Each structure stands twice: as C-alpha cells, then as structure tokens.
Amino acid sequence: MMNTNTRPTLYVVGNINVDVIMSTLQQWPQKGTEAMLDRSELRPGGSAGNCALALAALETPFRLVANQGNDYFSPWLAQLFPDSSPYWPTYSCETSLTFGVTHPDNERTFFSNQGHITRLSQDDVLHQIPLFAGGGDTVLLCGTFLCTALLADYPALLHTLRQRGYRIAVDTGWPPQGWSEPLRAQIADWLPFCDILLLNEVETCGMAGSEDLYTAARTLNRRQPADAACVVKCGADGARLWCGERQLQAAAHPIAVVDTIGAGDSFNAGFLTACLHGHSAAVALRWGIRAASHAISSSPRQYLDWQTLKTCAGEMI
C-alpha cells in the first residue's frame, strides 16, 4: 500500500469494539434481581475507535488500522469507518463487546469479552500501513494489553515501523492482569522506540513501578529516544509532559462532566492533531485537554469539531 496523501496522516492501531453504556448505577444489585437505569447508548468504542471518531470530527487525516469479527455487529462497525474498514481482515469470531455502567461519582465499570481484538496480528497491521512514511506520518498504538496477539510482537512491530520512517506514539492502557516486574521488563524492550507515551497518572506510576508521578514519568522518559515525550493525562488537573529536562503543565477549565468514557482517547486525538499541524508541545497539551473536555461534557457523545477548535485556536497557540 502506498500513501498518496500529501498531508501528515495518523495511523491508529488497536482495539475497536462495540460499547453498550448505561447510567447511572447507584449500587450493585443483588444476584437474581433487575435494575432499571436512566440512560443507555450503543456506540463504537475501544481506545482506537474512540480516538478515530475524535480525529474524524477534527478533520485530521487518519486511518484506523484494525480487524473485525464476522457476526452481526461487524457490518455496523465497518460502515462507521468507510475509508478504513475495507482493509480490515475478517476473523471467524464474535465482535469484541464492552458493557459499561457509570456511577454517581462519574467513575465507571466495564465488562468485556475477548472477541476479534485478541486476534489482531503484526501482519494485519503492517499490511494496512504504507511501506514508506510521508513527512510527519505517525502511528498511534493503543489498547496494547487487550490486543494480546499483537502485544507479543511489539518489539518487532515497532522496529519495523521505525524502519519505515514513522513517528511512534503509544497509549498502553491498564493491563487487566495488573503490573508485574516481568511485564515492566517486557515494556522496557520497546520503550526506546516510543516517541510519545500517552498515559494517565496511575498507568504512569504502574508502568514505572513508582508511586511518585514525577519520578515515574522521568524514569519512563529516560528510556525513550532523545527528544521523546512522556505525556501524562491528569483528568480535572489537566495534563503534564516530560521531555528530557523540560517539564510542561497545562490546566483544564472546570466543566460539567457527563460521561468520562474515552476521555483519554479524545485527548490523544487533540494532542496528536496539534503535533501533525506542527504546533509546540504546549499547544498540543491544550488541544488535547480541549478535545477531552468537549467529549466528556456531552451526552449523547459529541466530539470536538475542527470549526469549533479553530474559533478558539488563537487563545491556545
């Protein structure tokens, strides 16, 4: 496959699934009973899916690199991403599905099956990404620990992407099995390929094995390439970035939070869009926060669009 797009493109690799979101669950019901909730929403989800939807709203050139199952959910997901889904390989399995419930404190609980995302392979990914990167082209790998077949090939995959000339961003998410020293050692093999790490606070501390955020972020950043960034998403406190001896912080404006699902994925879309436009890290932090804030204050879910971003871009540059 050749890339004929003259603008930088973001290739989003990872987990797209179906989300069934319901709210608000006050307390867990007893076994054998039924609980009626106020709202429900069926929508595409997963870290890669959420980020792709946010990128589409921002009119950022992107390709969603994924796979699909072969049940009744597969065509529904595919038609939402018409420019990407023709390249998705099909596996004889059910679509990955997540059932999420939100709680009064805006926290949420997820229940997920395994489904098609556990079948996504290195070959699937490399067949969907051009052999030669264009100027500024970036690959974002997300849902790392959920795409179990792909995780085993991360060192080889990242090495190949680097050979093809791509910048590499990674948002691992939280490992379902929890952090361990063997897992941290595994990650250490591919951190030297990560130009941008995009994590939240608990993921940063868990990956580095430190309870202090500053120490954890510095530890991870030192293992990245020179001039690479470790970005930490801090929720209501905004976001922070470490790059060598430099540290940046951007605050978030107070908002009425409705649905925090996909907040970090929307941040990734805003942050990386600013990077593709050639803006500074400080601007990228602010664009990321703006994209996340817009998403989590909407119901049904709405993503920040390019026209809205442009109206406030002057104050963020």
Domain 10-14+47-66+117-312: which CATH number of 3.40.50.720, 3.40.1190.20, 1.20.1440.230, 3.40.50.10540: 3.40.1190.20
* Distance in angstroms (rounded) separating the CA atoms of residues 179 and 172: 12
Q: How confident is the model at residue 2 (pLDDT cuts 50, 70, 90)?
A: very low
The β-bridge relationship of strands 62-65 and 229-233 is unpaired
Q: What digits encode the pLDDT tens for the residues 226-243? A: 999 999 999 999 999 999
pTM: 0.93
Orientation of helix 47-57 relative to helix 263-276, angle to 10°: 50
- What pLDDT, on a 0 to 100 scale, did the predictor assign at position 1? 45
pLDDT surpassing 90 at residue 19? yes
* Residues 133 and 294: beta-carbon distance below 8 Å: no
- Which residue is it, tokens 């805003």? 270
pLDDT over 70, % of the chain = 97
| Residue 274, SS3 per DSSP | helix
